[in-house]
Amino acid sequence: LSTEISEQATLFHQFLLADDEALLNDIRGVLKQSPLRHLATPAGHKMSVKSSSCGSYGWLSDKHGYRYQNIDPVTGQPWPDIPQSILVKATQVSRLAGFQNFQPDSCLINVYTPGAKMGLHQDKNEADFSKPIVSFSFGLPITFMWGGFKRSDKYQKFSLQHADALVWGGKDRLRYHGVQQLKEAMHPLTGRCRVNLTIRQAG
Ligand code: MD3
Ligand code: FE
């Protein structure tokens, strides 16, 4: 079951349901090595989500800007490898969406607790915008905002729910997007939070 958000953006409902516990366990393994932390925006505001990464490239934000880096500044070590379970599902779903040559080298892990949100932004720190992005959602649902090519363009709202996978690329790659504040609730697998994986070919 899938929803075509636009020509090159598809939401695969519950695509990850059969593997949810295995994927979440593998994410927990990554977070034991490179723990969640609050990043600061270049303007010095603490982001409301807590983040970590795995793969060759980890996404970072600090006073120097937004970028990818090979070393986790918290541990001084390379980021953990992307678990095989995540690579398998990400390449499967990207192929279903029509993107054949996707070789993920970066997976951003964002954990939202009630009240956390992500304002409208573009993902534009990656080297090759012809590569798609895949996002996995686990735990509590959230309202996703799908905008246009200017921040001020009006946006459509979609619910991202537990075990959903979203793939977009092509002409939709640089759309503004974000998520609204997470509402207070409890999920049997994650408790009172939402876990989002954003899987990219960054290098
Ligand atoms: C559509 N995360 O980490 S994922 C991000 O749900 C981010 O946590 C949000 O935006 C989250 O950068 C949204 C879905 C998503 C991500 C990037 C997109 C949809 C997108 C880029 C272009 C269009
Ligand atoms: Fe984004």
DSSP codes, 20-83: HHHHHHHHHHHHHHS--BPPBPTTSPBPSSEEEEESS-EEEEETTEEEEESB-TTTSSBPPPPP
pLDDT per position as a tens digit, 102-147: 999 999 999 999 999 999 999 998 988 999 999 999 999 999 999 9
At residue 170, does pLDDT exceed 90? yes
- Give the per-residue pLDDT at 163: 98
How much is the ipTM here?
0.91
Please give the mean pLDDT across all residues of the chain: 97
Smallest CA separation from ligand 1 atom 9, residue: 178
Q: Which residues surround ligand 2, an ion (CB under 5 A)?
A: 123
At CB < 8 A and 24+ separation, what contacts does 74-79 make? 74/34, 74/35, 74/37, 75/33, 75/34, 77/33, 77/34, 79/34, 79/53, 79/54, 79/55
Domains and CATH numbers, the chain: 2-200 (2.60.120.590)
- Average pLDDT (183-187) is 98
Q: What is the CB < 6 Å shell around ligand 1?
A: 108, 110, 118, 123, 133, 135, 160, 166, 168, 172, 175, 177, 179, 196, 198
Determine the distance separating the centroid of ligand 1 and the alpha carbon of 178, expressed in angstroms.
6
Smallest CA separation from ligand 1 atom 3, residue: 198
